[in-house]
Amino acid sequence: MGPVRGRAFLAPRFAAYRRTSEVVMALLRDVSPLVEQVSIDEAYLDLAAGGHDLSVPAVTALADRLRAAIAAATGGVTASIGAGTSKLVAKIGSDLRKPGGLTVVAPGDEQAVLHPLPVTRLPGVGPATDERLRRSGVRTIGDLARVPLPDLLDWFGQAHGAGLYRLARADDDRPVIGEHEAKSLSAEETFDVDLTDRVRLGTEIDQLAGRVGARLRAAGLSARTVTVKIRHYDFTTITRSLTRSQPTDDPRLVAQLAHRLLAEVDTSAGIRLLGVGVTTLAGFVQDDLFTTPATAEADGPQEQPQTAGESPPAPAATAGWRPGQDVRHDTYGAGWVWGSGLGRVSVRFEGPTTPPGPVRTFAADDPALHPAGPPDWAPAVPERPV
C-alpha cells in the first residue's frame, strides 16, 4: 500500500490581516508623509520627505525603533526592513534577513551588496528568464552586470533586456508614490511550469483576487474595473477587463469577475503568468442599495452593500464554523475557531495582545457563541517611533 497524503486548508482571515495592516501603515505614516503601500504587508517610505537624518547610523536606529513599535502595536508581528537609495535596493535588502531582519545599504555600496546575490533576486527574473541566463553562465547579479546590453536585447527584447541591464547596475530611479496617486492595484504570479489545469488556475485566481481585495480595503479604496492578465509560454500576453456600474472592495466579487474573464481565454497551450488587477479606483464603495437578485446588473454578481473598509457580513453559525474564524462568546469574550466537526466547535480565547488563552468546546449551535470581526487592538498603539 502506497503512502497516504492529505491536505489541510486554513481559511484566510482577511479582516484580521486588514486590521493588522492598518495599524502598521499608521505607524509608517508617522515616520514619513510619503508612503507607498504596494500590498497588505509591504510599503515603501521616503525618509527624506520625513526630514530624517539619512546617515547609516541614524537610519539603522530609526528602523530598529520602527520594528519594535510594530511588534508592540500588533502583538508580536515581525517586520523586515531594507533601506537604501532606491526601491530596488530597499526591497532586496528587506528580503535578505527575513524574518525580522534589517539591512541598511550605504550610498555607493549598492553594487557590492547586490552583485554576489543570485540573479533571481531581481524583479522580473522568473523561472524562464533564469533558465535563459543560466544557459549563458549567468547566475549572479554580478554576472548579469557583465553581459553587454546588445546581448540582453537579443535574448529578451528591448523592454525586458534594457530593464535587466539597468537593474543589474542598481539603476532604479522610481519615486515613492503616495497612496492617493494610485491608479491601479494588482497581484500576479509566475509559475515554474506552464499551467493548463482549470481547477489549479481557479485556485490561483481566488488567491490573487484575495490579495487585491485586501489591498483595496487596506488603502480605503474601491474599484469598478477588474482585469485578468495572462502570459503564455512564448511571452505573448493578453488581458481581459470588465467594468461594473458601481465600485466595490469585496475580494469575493473581484474573484467572481476574474473567474468570468479567465473563462473567456483558451488555456490549453499553458499559462506562464497569471495576474488580477483593478482600476477605475475610488475612495468609497457605493453598491446599489435597492438592487435585488431579480434586477441584478448585467456586468457582475451582486453582494450586500457595504462601505469601504467594512468587513463582509459574518456567516451565520448555522452555516458552519471555519478554522481561524473570529468569534465572540457571551461569557469568554473574543476568540477564534480552533476546529469544528460532529456538531461541536472548539474555540481558543486569546487575542494579539493577550497571553495564550484557554480552549473551550461548545455545541455548534450554542446561542452564546457568535461570529465576529477580529478584536480591535489598534487603540493600544504605543508611543510612535519618531
Active-site residue flag, 42 = yes
Cβ 251 vs Cβ 212: under 8 Å: yes
The Cα 213–Cα 278 span in angstroms is 9
* Nearest alpha-carbon partner for 33 in 49, 53, 44: 49
Tell me phi and psi for residue 259, to 5 degrees: -60, -45
For residues 83 and 44, what is the distance between their CA atoms, to the nearest angstrom? 9
Between the alpha carbon of residue 125 and those of residues 118, 131, 144, 155, 163, the distances in Å are 10, 9, 11, 13, 11
The one catalytic residue in 42, 179, 188, 310 is 42
Residue 32: half-sphere exposure toward Cβ, Cα within 13 Å: 24
What strands lie across the sheet with 369-371, from one edge to the other? 359-363, 344-348, 333-341, 326-329, 369-371
* CA distances (Å), origin 294, targets 206, 297, 299, 301, 312: 26, 9, 14, 11, 22
**Nearest C-alpha neighbor of 271 from the set 216, 206, 200:** 200
**Closest to 46 in 3D by CA, of 143, 190, 179, 215:** 179
C-alpha cell at 95: 528580503
- The catalytic residue positions are 42
